[in-house]
Structures are given as structure tokens and as C-alpha cells.
Structure 1
Amino acid sequence: MAFLILVVTKLSETYVETIPFNVTYQNLPETKIITLDSTPKVNVTVSTHGFNLLSYYFQNYTYKLDFENITSQKDNTYIWTAEKGSYSLQGQLGQSVKIISVKPDTLILPFGTLSVKSVPVVLKSEINYAIGYDTLEKVEVIPDSVKIIGAEEEIANIEFIETMLLDLNDIKTNINTTIGLELSNQSKRLKLSEEKVTIKTNVEKFTEGTFEIPLAILNKPNAVEINYFPKYIKVSYYLSLKDYKQVKPNDFKIECDYNEAIEAGASFFVPKLIINSDKVKSAKMKQNKVEYIIIK
């Protein structure tokens, strides 16, 4: 009983305490965004009975900063003063609480004009297919671009948005998955029109084939006779198993430029492989030099 009386007596006394308020924004114009790196706070020092202060120890308080009524504007900055905001604070605290001071007594709130910019999505991936499997198609990103919403000066230099890392191993089946977009290196104030994108591609069984392809000598004058070796170069190519029978030797050309060799003073041609089939994913020659001599 004595303890209870003591507690009631203490809580009946007047105390001075500082209460922190997190600031939130109210009635901020839709075309504007505050460009501070962190949300501001105000510390309100009050005088009141202990009973009134007791509730402040068990909850976080938020002060709604009203841009229509209690701020002024200068250039690209909103200015809030405790003098203008004290009435709103007092209403939130109640008439039994006396405000002694508000720190800081002024908030400088720079703002930018909201802008929208469309940028491509770049897939960040490490995809390893199982042996004998691959994809002929480009891995598809859906959608392939997104809109960034934020202050004009903040999005001006953003040229693309990367996905989170897509790490896949031993892939034998079609890829169809969703993955988030990477905004960690950008301002937290920026918003994206899409939070995730879909990644798709068809995975097929692949095989390798080889052809002996004849060489074509370009730009050789009619009056010049040359002998060169080899006359054919073996080409190995990589493609989907289902397309294997559709690819023929005439889908490949190997060309050597006579003028190029003469201008370089070289005793050999550098052959160039030309692929004329969209069914071939890659191809390479087994030889990268062609020796030649001028007969006359």
C-alpha cells in the first residue's frame, strides 16, 4: 500500500521530458518528392504530470507534417518551422501537456519534380546447361524494359536496371521463372513499374557436326595465279539435335581476301567463316591460316 501511494504521488508530480517524433509527410503534391536521404525527426520537450508521460514510454509517436498548411516554399525547398507546427503538435499531445521547445526548430526539406523514364532490363545470370543441352534462342526477359519513377535529377543517369543474379546449374529443361530487379545501388526513393520480371527460354538437346568447306579467294586479279593450301577447311558447328539434318555445307562459306594479305605483306591468308543459317548456334574452323604462293 505504501509503495502504491508512493508511485501515485510520483506520477502526480510535474516532469519535463523530451519526446522524439518521427516525421511523415501529408498533402505532399503528387508531382513532388522529398530528396532527403533519411526521414527527419523532431524532439519535443514537454512539461506535464507523470501520468501523461507514462504512455509515451510505450509507443512511438509520429508527427504528420502538412505541406498545405504549415510549410513555406523557397526555390526547390520546403521550409517547416516549429512556430507553424506547434499548434498541430499541441493538438496531438493534448491540452494537458505544455510544449517547452521543439528541436530542431526548422526543417529544410529539398524536393525534386517526379519524372518517369523507361529503361531496359539487363539479365544478370550464370546459367550452366547440362552436357549436351543448350538453347538456340536468346534468353527472353519479360518485360524487357521497366519505368523508373523518381526525382528527375536522380533518374537522369540511369541507363538500365539489372535483375538479381539468376544462378542455374545442370539445366536440361525449359527455363520459365521470375526474378526480382536490383535497386540496391540506387536511391531508396526510386520506384519501379515492375518489381519482378519473367525469364524464359527453350532448352534443347544439342549436338556437333562437321563439314569440309572449300575456300573462296576474293579480290584476286585475273592476271595473277596463286597456289594455296589447304583448299578445304574443316568446320565444326554446334546446333540443336532436331535441326541437325537441315544444315548443309552450303550454309557455310570461308573467304580469304587477296588484297588484305598483299597490303599486310603476309605469306598467308586469314580465312573468315560466314554462317548462313540461323539454326547454327556457333561454329569454328579447325585452321586459321592458309598458306599461298604467287605463281605468276
Structure 2
Amino acid sequence: MSVRRKPRFKKSSVKTFSFFLIFSAIVWVLVQFSKTYTQLIEIPVNYINTPLDKSISDERPKHVDLQLQDNGFNIYYYKIFNPQLKVDLSKAKETDKELVYTLQNHLSEIEEQLKIDFENSRIIQEEIVVPFQFKKEKMLKVIPNIEVNYAVGYSADKAVKLTPDSVKVSGPEKIIDSLVSVPTQSIRLNKVNTNLDGNIGIDTSGYGQLSFYENSVKFTQEVEKFTEGSVEIAIEVENVPNNLNLAYFPKTVIVYYQVNLKQFENVSAADFRVICNYQDIKKGDDYMIAQIVEKPGFINSIRLNERRIQFVIKR
């Protein structure tokens, strides 16, 4: 008795069939994509060069509608890569409370941006109307965010100076009215032993709705050689009751200070006054706190060798 065998497909036949199937699919896709279609595509709008004295509304148009008549390849290019249209608002016409950008007046620019031919395509809108509000202008004080660490033996009599020390900004009234100052960018200068002279940017982060008429300012400072001096000053005790016999120690303290080398000879003990206030003593304490209440205005880094002044009440 003979046994019937199942027919077998040769591997070469399967490969040939698969090749022609894939080839046919590719040809079909190419044919379909080569045909001309008409498609409506939303093109996102990016607004540039907004006038500094105006703030455009959040209700501004976000896109324009492009009716594109082209082959499938180009249409899917626009859908996948989604090119943007840059609208230069400095070229728009201003009406009462709107900026009107007439698209027909800028067709060559649009063609170059979007890489299209308006012979077979068109933008549905004739113009883009952008509502705006006039910005309020204000001068804001610029605060230096500059940390200066001087080299040993150097310092400065005056703080870092900014030029200009205020800048004009414009923006929505509700934001402008809440501001009085704006900081510079943060920098740290170490081992400084020469005069400062440079430019620093204004820190505009967090102020996206404001327009700054200046983006940087100049900073300067005279840095000079300083030296340390010291004087011995007698302590004065104030507000001691008349019937109280108060004895305290020490009777004098040493005041240490830094001074410009050029003014060192101008400092004397008579320029200082150190006091203790009896009324500031807390119950149970046996000491007073010494404070410097008078000193020359041109010295800095001032300190005392002793602040706690011991006292006893004699009976």
C-alpha cells in the first residue's frame, strides 16, 4: 500500500514570493505618494520682533491654515516636521489695539521659510491680527550681585558702583507696579588687588514678560592698600543709678580696625567711643556688653578685643 506524501514548498519559492510581495507593496506606496493631493495643514506661528512698548495678547493666533496641493511625499513632510512660520511684528501695521500682518505682502518671505510654491498652494487667512496692550515703562534700580574677596592687605572704601545704576523696562502694568529693583548676574571675584572695571549682565531670568532697554551695566570700584590699626579706648558706662557703686573690669578695650594706608595717620583714639549700658544687663548676669558707638567713617572691619565687661556692685 502506497503512502501519500504532503506537498512541500521549496524555500526558493517562498523567497521569490516574499520578494515580489514586498516589491509590489513598495511600488504601490510610491505610486500613491506620487499622486497629487490637496490637504489642509496647520502651520504654527512664531512671533518675533515684538515692539518694546507693546505686549501681545495670549489670545493671538497660534497657527495659520495652509491649503497644500502637492504630492504625498511633500504633504507628509509638512505633517511630520511641522515647520513654523516666523511673523515679524515690526513689519505689521498698527491699528487701535491690534497689530495686523498682511500675508499677501510677504509671500516671498513665506515661500522661502516654508519651502512651498504658491502657484498650487495658498494660505487660507489673508492677514494675522494680533491683539496687544501698551506696556508700562519704569526705571528699576539695579542691585549688584557681585561678591568681592580681596587679597591680603587690600580692600575698598566704597561699595561696587554700577553705571547706569537703574535701567528702563517695559511690561504689563500689574507686573511693573510690583517691581522696584532687578539684580545683576551673580559673579565672585577672588584675591582682588587692583581696581575693578568690567561689564556684567542683568539677570532677566523670571522676567519673561518684561522688555529691558539695557541688558548689561558697567561695574567699577577703587581698590587700595589697607593696613590694620588699633587704639586703646576707655569704657563709659551709661544709665547707672545714682545710689549704685559699680566697679567693672577691664576699664579699657582695644579697638582693631582696617584703614586705607593713605589715611592711617588720620585715625586717633579721640575718634572712638565705647560704652556699656547698665539697663541692658539681664537678671543674674555679672557682665555688661561693650559697644562701639562712635568711629571714623572711613575705617572698616572694626572689632573689640573684649566685649564682655565684668562688674560687681559695692555695698
- The TM tier, using the shorter chain, reads 0.7 to 0.9
Indicate if the aligned counterparts of 2:45 and 2:85 stay in contact, CA closer than 8 A.
yes
Corresponding residue for 1:3? none
Relative distance call for 1:293 and 1:32 in structure 2 (3 A) is: same
CA drift of 1:67 comes to 5.9
Indicate if the aligned counterparts of 1:178 and 1:198 stay in contact, CA closer than 8 A.
yes
Indicate if the aligned counterparts of 1:177 and 1:199 stay in contact, CA closer than 8 A.
yes
Matching residue within 241, 262, 266 for 2:285: 266
Write the deviation string for residues 67-97 of structure 1: whole angstroms up to 9, x where unpaired: 658xx97xxxx699xxx97877989778733
Structure 2 counterparts to residues 48-197 of structure 1, below 5 A: 61-62=85-86, 96-99=119-122, 111-187=132-208, 189-197=209-217
Counterpart secondary structure, 2:220: strand
Write the deviation string for residues 137-157 of structure 1: whole angstroms up to 9, x where unpaired: 111111111111112123233
Q: Distance in 1 between matches of 2:196 and 2:99?
A: 53
* Aligned pairs, number: 269
2:306 counterpart letter in structure 1: Q
Corresponding residue for 1:20? 43
Structure 2 counterparts to residues 171-250 of structure 1, below 5 A: 171-187=192-208, 189-250=209-270
Q: Distance in 2 between matches of 1:109 and 1:223?
A: 83
Q: CA RMSD in A?
A: 4.1
Relative distance call for 1:153 and 1:67 in structure 2 (3 A) is: farther
Corresponding residue for 1:40? 62
Relative distance call for 1:220 and 1:127 in structure 2 (3 A) is: same
Indicate whether 1:282 and 2:301 are aligned. Answer: yes
Write the deviation string for residues 47-85 of structure 1: whole angstroms up to 9, x where unpaired: 3689x99xx99x97555785658xx97xxxx699xxx97
Indicate if the aligned counterparts of 2:93 and 2:99 stay in contact, CA closer than 8 A.
no
Bigger drift between 123-132 and 60-69 goes to: 60-69
Counterpart secondary structure, 1:119: strand
Q: Distance in 1 between matches of 2:61 and 2:155?
A: 49
Write the deviation string for residues 221-277 of structure 1: whole angstroms up to 9, x where unpaired: 33322111010011111111111111001111110112222x645322111112321
Counterpart secondary structure, 2:214: coil
Q: Distance in 1 between matches of 2:203 and 2:232?
A: 47
CA drift of 1:100 comes to 8.1
1:252 counterpart letter in structure 2: F
Indicate if the aligned counterparts of 1:121 and 1:146 stay in contact, CA closer than 8 A.
yes
Corresponding residue for 1:6? none
Q: Distance in 2 between matches of 1:220 and 1:231?
A: 16
Indicate if the aligned counterparts of 2:240 and 2:278 stay in contact, CA closer than 8 A.
yes
Indicate if the aligned counterparts of 1:63 and 1:89 stay in contact, CA closer than 8 A.
no
Write the deviation string for residues 128-185 of structure 1: whole angstroms up to 9, x where unpaired: 2111111111111111111111121232333321111232221111111111111022
Structure 2 unaligned runs (5+)?
A: 1-31, 112-116
Relative distance call for 1:19 and 1:256 in structure 2 (3 A) is: closer
Q: Distance in 1 between matches of 2:267 and 2:59?
A: 59
Relative distance call for 1:269 and 1:38 in structure 2 (3 A) is: farther
Q: TM-score under structure 2 normalisation? A: 0.69
More strand by share: 1
Counterpart secondary structure, 1:154: helix
Relative distance call for 1:212 and 1:159 in structure 2 (3 A) is: same
Q: Distance in 2 between matches of 1:95 and 1:107?
A: 18
Percentage of matched positions with identical amino acids? 26
1:156 counterpart letter in structure 2: D
Relative distance call for 1:289 and 1:44 in structure 2 (3 A) is: same
